Amino acid sequence: MKAAVLYGKEELNIVSDFEDPVMKKTDVLIQSKFGGLCSTDRSLYRGFVPFKPPLIIGHEIAGVVKDVGSSVSGVDIGDHVIIPPVYPGCEDETCNSCREGLTNRCKKSVFIGHGVHGGDAEFIAVPSRYTFKINEDVPLDEACIIPDAVSTPFHALKSRSVPAHIFQHSSDTHKLFEHDSHWLRGKNVVVFGVGGVGGPAVNLAARYFQAKNVVAVDVFDKKLELAKKLGATHTVNSKAFFEEKGITTRELTGREKAEAISDLSKHITSHLSEDKYQVDVVVDCSGVSDTFPVAVEAASKNRTIIQVGWPPKPVSQFLNRKIMDKYLTITGTWACPMNEMKEIVIAVENKEVDLNLLVTNKDYTLDKLENAIHDLEAGKILGRATIAIV
């Protein structure tokens, strides 16, 4: 079969005769139609994260079922499907994480396109229980971003945003997480980084979770313009903010840097002055370590910061006492549990997610995958790019 295969750092080849996947009796064989391009693909390509070559990359996949194993039920040939990029690898979900509902954190997690062969190929075989059907009226060149770009911020907002004390003192905890009564409804959210994941975070917070205000923060005006279309009520260009003040942050240290961070956070929250500057959730999708101190400053007391983006460098300066004084909940997130994937599919099918806006580049084919990675690095991809595989 045709496949995009990494043989080493920056050695990406499109081969036409790679071995076909072997199906188990509980598997389905999916013909990959489209894949989403993620920064993780770029990290693998550049050798920033370890992998065992040869490796077929690609973990955002939408396709059509071509065959089913002898023990498969509920999935039929011809169904349109998506695959979560991370799914359980333990038997019958019996590890501690799976039993606790965190199937995205299974002790033996399978990460397609990283730990095992991915979907940037003509075919991929996956367990039928982790294959999610989607209506045929959802374009596959948009549906392919659901498994990661949409599901990751969805899980962050749905399940990681509620502060522990709110949960503890709720008379009906289930309502805090249900769509029509979710805790975020009517709240104020700040999203740092309006890229492939931050864009969906803005869109979901505004449209699906019905936040009152969503403030989008980025360094590119074009991304902030996209954020407005996705539902942001306010936008802040942090780079322009410092430039207007003649501040070069990398040259600052100590008190000067702390004051600059404080000024930026005050500017961000000034858009919420009618709500007494209240920021209920900060979602950091930037992948930039310098964002974290600003997030700590911007978040209101007794509220939550969710780390979604993957910063390659450690945070150099932040005030631990701020976290204590503000009684903040700092939480990370990783992929999405299986039991939330169906809700995401329903949200898409009900047109509560603007996939047509989130996918900004549809012109790439599998043969041009390397070009797409370069364009991603060069900032030429505004939101999410999709790759036509077959």
Residue 384 lies in a domain: yes
pLDDT exceeding 90 applies to what percent of the chain? 91
Q: Which residues is 281 bridged to in the sheet?
A: 189, 304
Let me know how many helices (H) and strands (E) the chain has, helices first. Answer: 14, 18
Residue 152 lies in a domain: no
Report residue 356 as tokens.
């047509």
For residues 135 and 11, membership in a common domain is answered with yes
pLDDT tens digit sequence for 247-301: 887 777 878 888 999 999 999 999 999 999 999 999 999 989 889 999 999 999 9
Q: How many domains does the chain have?
A: 2
At residue 320, the pLDDT reads: 76
For residues 328 and 342, membership in a common domain is answered with no
Query: CATH no. for residue 111?
Result: 3.90.180.10
Read off the DSSP letter of residue 289. Answer: T
Asked whether the beta carbons of 90 and 107 are under 8 A apart, the reply is yes
At residue 316, the pLDDT reads: 67
Query: CATH no. for residue 261?
Result: 3.40.50.720
pLDDT tens digit sequence for 305-333: 999 998 777 776 656 788 999 999 999 99
What mean pLDDT is predicted for residues 241-250?
88
Asked whether the beta carbons of 291 and 312 are under 8 A apart, the reply is no
For residues 350 and 305, membership in a common domain is answered with no
Q: Can you give the C-alpha Rg of the chain in angstroms?
A: 21
Residue 54 lies in a domain: yes
Asked whether the beta carbons of 358 and 199 are under 8 A apart, the reply is yes
Res. 5: pLDDT tops 90: yes
Residue type present at position 62 = A
For residues 143 and 168, membership in a common domain is answered with no
At residue 318, the pLDDT reads: 58
Q: Is the pTM of this model over 0.75?
A: yes
For residues 223 and 210, membership in a common domain is answered with yes
Cα 97 to the center of its chain, rounded Å: 21
Read off the DSSP letter of residue 299. Answer: S
For residues 32 and 180, membership in a common domain is answered with no
Residue 155 lies in a domain: no
Q: Domain boundary at 300, 332, 364, which?
A: 332
Read off the DSSP letter of residue 220. Answer: -
**Pure H helices in the chain:** 39-46, 96-99, 140-143, 151-159, 164-168, 198-203, 221-230, 238-244, 254-270, 291-298, 320-326, 338-349, 355-358, 369-377
Asked whether the beta carbons of 326 and 302 are under 8 A apart, the reply is yes
Q: Domain boundary at 332, 353, 372, which?
A: 332
What mean pLDDT is predicted for residues 208-230?
98
For residues 8 and 50, membership in a common domain is answered with yes
| Crossing angle (nearest 10°) for helices 338-349 and 151-159 | 110
**What is the domain range of residue 181?**
161-332
At residue 317, the pLDDT reads: 61
Distance CA 370, CA 147 (A): 22
Q: Domain boundary at 332, 352, 377, which?
A: 332
Residue 153 lies in a domain: no
Residues recorded for the chain = 390
At residue 255, the pLDDT reads: 83
For residues 101 and 9, membership in a common domain is answered with yes
For residues 95 and 53, membership in a common domain is answered with yes
Asked whether the beta carbons of 280 and 328 are under 8 A apart, the reply is no
Res. 236: pLDDT tops 70: yes
Asked whether the beta carbons of 18 and 60 are under 8 A apart, the reply is no
At residue 303, the pLDDT reads: 98
Question: Average model confidence (pLDDT) for the chain?
Answer: 95
- Using alpha carbons, select from 202, 194, 197 the residue that is nearest to residue 220: 194
pLDDT tens digit sequence for 59-80: 999 999 999 999 999 999 999 9
Asked whether the beta carbons of 39 and 309 are under 8 A apart, the reply is no
Read off the DSSP letter of residue 16. Answer: S
At residue 321, the pLDDT reads: 84
Asked whether the beta carbons of 237 and 192 are under 8 A apart, the reply is no
**Pure H helices in 6-103:** 39-46, 96-99
pLDDT tens digit sequence for 68-125: 999 999 999 999 999 999 999 998 999 999 999 999 999 999 999 999 999 999 999 9
For residues 28 and 109, membership in a common domain is answered with yes
- Using alpha carbons, select from 378, 361, 373, 387 the residue that is nearest to residue 47: 373
Residue 156 lies in a domain: no
Q: How far is CA 120 from each of CA 169, 290, 325, rounded to the nearest angstrom?
A: 47, 33, 47
At residue 116, the pLDDT reads: 97
